[in-house]
Amino acid sequence: MTNPPVSSREYLKPPITEVGVIGWLRGNLFNSWYNSLLTVVVLILLWQLVPPFFRWAFIDSVWNTPAEACRDIDGACWSIIPRNISFILFGFFPDGEQWRPGLAMALMLGLVIFSRNRKHWKKSLGIYWSIGLIAMGTLMYGGVFGMQVVETARWSGLPLTFMLALFGMVAAYPLGVFLALGRQSRMPAIKTLCVVYIEMIRGVPLISLLFMSSVMFPLFLPEGVTIDKVLRAQVAIILFTAAYIAEVVRGGLQAMPRGQFEAADSIGLNYNQTMRLIILPQALKIVIPPSVGILLSAFKDTSLVVIIALYDVLKTTKVTLSNPKWTGYSTEAYIFLAVLYFICCYAMSNYSRKLEKELHTGR
């Protein structure tokens, strides 16, 4: 007997409870009595929390009204953001000149986005960044092309946050790598200095370093000599972050098999060549996740400069809330800040995962 044609055969489809949405729900949320109970509890909590929050945030809220109109509503007063967005973002930068920090931030973000592509990691990228930094400094300080001079004491808001974070991370990473190599050195003097520095910095909070840079450090300077407060805070952030990066990188160096060093010796490479060509490229790939964690913490820790009277975006928001007209709307203001920080941190985290995939970390 011959089999019927393929077109006339009847194929049995998979059970509907094992494929599609129902299959996913059964396999992931209701695959046991314990997970089923947790799923039901979470759904009840979400039902209790999400609709009231949605009603408060979107339905009963106002978005661009005077402060007086917010007194008569039960929802969120998002008007605090658009009505004060200029001060929140740019702080005490002079009115009429705020296009300058805005353009400087746009230029900085443009360079960062351009640098994300590994195809652009060439010598020309350093030239672009040099030109961009000069342009950003000129825009922020002024004094040329008819632009008003703005002292660094008036740099505030989001530009200050981005500047402290970006330069802090960029400068701290190579310094941390050198400290890690120094701690692994066979020269006792260098190793001791690196160990003392790393342990001492990691043993104190960032707030203490900021206080020392702002209050104690000027006491040791000769009379009449001053160093900009923003620069002192920037150096404190760099030194603090570098100590943590050093320990992360040291873990990557210790993860390298001894055979890697022996292979480098067998082909006649010296110490510098071994580290630059063989060990560091592998070690730095291994420690991408913890390194990004440290850098994310450094980005968020820039908000601590409020304690030394630097007006970052958190401080300008607090000043806005001190206005009697907007007192009582801190929830809306801090949600806005949380979203802003989340976008920046998520972008960094997402890029790190992309970089891990491109570099085949772990293979």
Which tens digit of pLDDT belongs to each residue from 126-136? 899 999 989 99
Q: Where are the domains of the chain?
A: 14-52, 94-149, 159-216+227-314+337-359
In this predicted model, which residue has the larger pLDDT, 19 or 179?
Answer: 179
- Summarised one tens digit per residue, pLDDT across range 184-193 is 888 889 999 9
What is the C-alpha to C-alpha distance for residues 100 and 91, in angstroms, rounded to an integer?
13
Q: Mean pLDDT throughout 77-104? A: 90
Distance, CA of 248 to CA of 243 (rounded, Å): 9
Across residues 325-347, what is the average pLDDT? 90
What's the pLDDT at 64? 85
Q: How many CB atoms lie within 10 A of CB 126?
A: 10
Q: What local confidence, expressed as pLDDT, does residue 178 receive?
A: 93
Specify the pLDDT at position 13. Answer: 61
Q: What is the mean pLDDT of the chain?
A: 85
Give residue 1's pLDDT band: very low, low, confident or very high (50, 70, 90): low
> Which CATH superfamily includes the segment(s) 159-216+227-314+337-359?
MetI-like (1.10.3720.10)
Tens digit of each residue's pLDDT (9 = 90 or more) over 211-239: 888 888 777 777 777 788 888 888 999 99
Convert the pLDDT of each residue in 34-49 to its tens digit: 888 888 999 999 999 9
Q: What pLDDT digit, counting tens, does each position of 6-43 carry?
A: 555 556 665 555 656 777 777 777 888 888 888 899 99
The pLDDT, as a whole number, for residue 240 is 92
Asked whether residue 312 carries a pLDDT value surpassing 60, the answer given is: yes
pLDDT of residue 218: 78
Taking residues 56-67, report their average pLDDT.
86
Please give the pLDDT value at position 238. 92
Q: Looking at residue 20, what is its pLDDT?
A: 66
Residues 192-204 pLDDT 10s: 999 999 999 988 8
Q: What is the mean pLDDT of residues 61-90?
A: 87
For 77, phi then psi, to 5°, come to -105, 80
C-alpha 258, offset from chain centre? 34
Confidence at residue 357, expressed as pLDDT on a 0 to 100 scale? 83
Q: What is the DSSP string of 226-247?
A: ---HHHHHHHHHHHHHHHHHHH
Amino acid at residue number 167 = F
Q: Please report which confidence band the pLDDT of residue 76 belongs to, taking 50, 70 and 90 as the band edges.
A: confident
Contacts of 16 (CB under 8 A, 6+ apart): 22, 23
Q: What DSSP line would sit under 282-342, residue for residue?
A: HHHHHTHHHHHHHHHHHHHHGGGGGGGT--BHHHHHHHHHTSGGGTT-HHHHHHHHHHHHH
The pLDDT, as a whole number, for residue 193 is: 93
